[in-house]
Amino acid sequence: MLFGLCADGLLWEVEDEVTGLLRDLICFDTTNPPGNETAAAEFLADVLGKDGFECEVLESAPSRGNVVTRLGGCGEGPSLLLLSHLDVVAADVREWSVPPFGGVVRDGFVWGRGALDMKSLTAVEVMVLKLLKRRGVRLRGDVVLAATADEEKGGGAGAEWLANRFPEKVLADYVVNEFGGPALPVGGKNVFAVQTAEKGILWLKVRARGSPGHGSKPGCADNAILRMNRVVERLGNYRGEDVLVPTVRQYLEVLAHEDRRLRPLLLRLLREPACADAVLEKLAGVDRFLAEDVGAMLRVTVAPTMVRGGVKENVIPSECEAVFDCRFLPGQSSGDVLRLIKGLLRDVGLDRLEFEVVHAAEASESAVDTPLFRRIVEVLGGFDVGCSVAPFLLTGSTDSRFFRARGSVCYGFQPFLADAGYAEMWRMVHGVDERVSVRNLVFATSVLYNVVLRFLG
Ligand SMILES: [Zn+2]
């Protein structure tokens, strides 16, 4: 049997349990910094223990807990890691209509920080593991679960630490993680966008040097702020060359196939990526969100995010620094981007500029032609007849990169229907009034359970 017994195929029997799990997880304030994930990790160990799972809570530092457990298979098939993170970003209670750590369930939704990013997937993955065990499913390969600390601050105390310190406990052939899977309504149908690639990150601090002087005689000094002004203008206005990486090409092909309205524009973009500006301008007239999203998938972007300079009103400063958030495509490296930036600034005076890499993470991309991706397509097609599945490139980044770098095939797959509107859903992530519908929790559990069953059962 593929699906549950209900008419819509959803496993409604888990409704209360998975809703309660998410509600309880939201009540642990795991705002990072500082994180304090251990209490939530121990809670999950306890919850899983009730079904006979042996869990380990591994702390990278005091109160930075990660929980790991495993449901053993017979070793004939690949292993699968169900990955999630327990920490969340801050929430300002004054902006919210409910207490962000109150675990409020209202109007068919679970409200609170982490409802989407990403305690909902944690709850779903735990639920899937419990179901597999309760139903006595014989698995061909191991299913591992890891709910980690510190994703929102780079994963150094969470997934990266686990992958380095305990590879034998967490590394797997395949990984299911966050940031992909929500249904994008296109041309009257749903396109489920599964995240198969992520852009790389280079956070670069540039320090401009000058020589100080009195504010009343600007000509006698070399003002570092003016030099930085040129740097900011040059990099802030940089328009990268448009490149269609395989994931983005496939994503646009699916959208073009499904949406007759967008088809001519998207086909032109596929044919002539060099004309992206004209195409994206027209696309914005139809769907601004999509146009912005696609634009960022095509090229290196550089955004100035911090500037600091000067110490006193009447002192011309000899130093000014700025931070740039650069994002680049799979196939490029952070070193390539640093070279590109230095090239752009050659005539600003490289001898008076210093560069410091604050943080770098390489881009990553997983193959689409895999058994797991095919099972995802089959199962989604069973629940939502006529839907399409497309790979997509995340312009941000997740813990998946640590596992892709170690050879795992990773997919961002949080299968949700767009119950609050697709764009609205993305706005709630790190925004206010974050919430997920109970129906989506049941839907995601049902889909993921069946994917695992088909993949390893
Ligand atoms: Zn997240």
Length of the chain in terms of residues written: 457
Looking at residue 217, what is its pLDDT? 93
Compute the distance from residue 204 Cα to the ligand 1 centre, in Å: 23
Q: Share the mean pLDDT of the chain.
A: 94
CA–centroid distance, residue 107 to ligand 1 (Å): 24
Centroid of ligand 1 to alpha carbon of 430 (angstroms):
9
The alpha carbon of 117 and the centre of ligand 1 are apart by a number of angstroms equal to 4
Q: What is the distance in A from the centroid of ligand 1 to the CA of 429?
A: 8
Distance (Å) from CA 178 to ligand 1 centroid? 6
Residue 286 φ/ψ, nearest 5 degrees? -95, -45
Q: What residues does 184 pair with on adjacent strands? A: 191
Give the mean model confidence (pLDDT) for residues 169-192. 92
CA of 267 to the centre of ligand 1 (A): 32
Determine the average pLDDT of the residues in 386-406.
95
pLDDT at 6: 47
Torsional sign, CA 179, 180, 185, 190: negative
Distance 374 CA to ligand 1 centre (A): 25
pLDDT at 209: 97
Residue 2 has pLDDT above 50, yes or no: no
Q: How confident is the model at residue 8 (pLDDT cuts 50, 70, 90)?
A: confident
How does DSSP assign 264-303, residue by residue?
HHHHHHHH-GGGHHHHHHHHHHH-HHHHHHHHHHSS-EEE
Q: Measure 85 CA to ligand 1 centroid, in angstroms.
A: 7
Token output for 413: 């797959």
Amino acid at 347: D
Expressed in angstroms and rounded, the spacing between residue 59 Cα and the centre of ligand 1 is 19
Segment 6-18 shows an average pLDDT of: 87
Tell me if 54 sits within 8 A of 114, measured CB to CB: no
Ligand 1 centre from 257 Cα, in Å? 30
* Partners of 214 in beta bridges: 315
Cβ contact 395:299 at 8 Å:
no
118 Cα: distance to centroid of ligand 1 (angstroms): 5
Structure tokens belonging to residue 314: 């009447």
Q: Which residues pair with 361 in a beta bridge?
A: 201
* Structure tokens given for 360: 């770098």
Confidence band (pLDDT; 50, 70, 90) for 256? very high
Measured in Å, residue 425 CA sits from the centre of ligand 1 at 13
Q: Please write the tens of the pLDDT for every residue from 79-115.
A: 999 999 999 999 999 999 999 999 999 999 999 999 9
Residue 399 Cα to ligand 1 midpoint, Å, equals 8
Q: What digits encode the pLDDT tens for the residues 210-227? A: 999 999 999 999 999 999
Tokens, residue 155? 């994963």
| Radius of gyration of the chain from its Cα atoms, rounded to whole angstroms | 24
Q: What is the mean pLDDT of residues 399-426?
A: 89
CB neighbour list of residue 186: distance below 8 Å, 6 or more residues apart = 255, 258, 259, 262, 388
Q: How far is the CA of 358 from the centre of ligand 1 (A)?
A: 21
> How many whole angstroms from 147 Cα to the centroid of ligand 1?
11
| 87 Cα to the center of ligand 1, angstroms | 8
Q: How confident is the model at residue 423 (pLDDT cuts 50, 70, 90)?
A: confident
- At 233 the pLDDT is 97
Confidence check: pLDDT of 349 > 70 = yes
Measured in Å, residue 127 CA sits from the centre of ligand 1 at: 19
CB 429 within 8 A of CB 117: yes
Question: Which are the contacts of 264, defined by CB distance < 8 A and separation ≥ 6?
Answer: none
Name residue 140's amino acid: R
pLDDT band at 7 (very low <50, low <70, confident <90, very high): low
Per-residue pLDDT for 402 more than 50? yes
Q: How far is the CA of 350 from the centre of ligand 1 (A)?
A: 37
DSSP symbols for 344-389? HTHHHHGGGEEEEEEEEE--EE--S-SHHHHHHHHHHHHHSTT-EE
Angle, helix 263-271 to helix 276-286, in steps of 10 degrees: 160
- Tens of pLDDT, residue by residue over 287-299, are 888 899 999 999 9
Q: How many CB atoms lie within 10 A of CB 344?
A: 15
Q: How far is the CA of 239 from the centre of ligand 1 (A)?
A: 28
The span from the CA of 47 to the CA of 53, in Å, is: 9
Cα 32 to middle of ligand 1, angstroms: 11
Cα(198) to ligand 1 centroid in Å equals 13
How many whole angstroms from 224 Cα to the centroid of ligand 1? Answer: 38
Kindly give the distance from the C-alpha atom of residue 61 to the centroid of ligand 1, in angstroms, as a whole number.
Answer: 20
Question: What's the gap between Cα 210 and its chain centre?
Answer: 40
- In angstroms, what is the span from residue 14 Cα to ligand 1's centroid? 24
138-154 pLDDT tens trace: 999 999 999 999 999 99
What band does 420 get if pLDDT is binned at 50, 70 and 90? low
CA of 221 to the centre of ligand 1 (A): 47
* CB count in 10 Å sphere of residue 3: 18
Q: At what angle do helices 438-456 and 371-383 cross, to 10 degrees?
A: 140
Ligand 1 centroid distance, CA of 150 (Å): 10
Structure tokens at 286: 């139809």
- For residue 184, what pLDDT is reported? 86
User: What is the CA(101)–ligand 1 centre distance, in A?
Assistant: 16
Q: Which pLDDT value is given to residue 1?
A: 34
Task: Specify burial of residue 323 (Cβ count, 10 A radius: 0-12, 13-18, 19+).
Answer: middle
DSSP code for 71: E
Q: How far, in Å, from the CA of 88 to the mean position of ligand 1?
A: 7
Identify whether the C-beta of residue 357 lies closer than 8 Å to the C-beta of residue 204.
Answer: yes
Say whether pLDDT at 385 is over 70.
Answer: yes
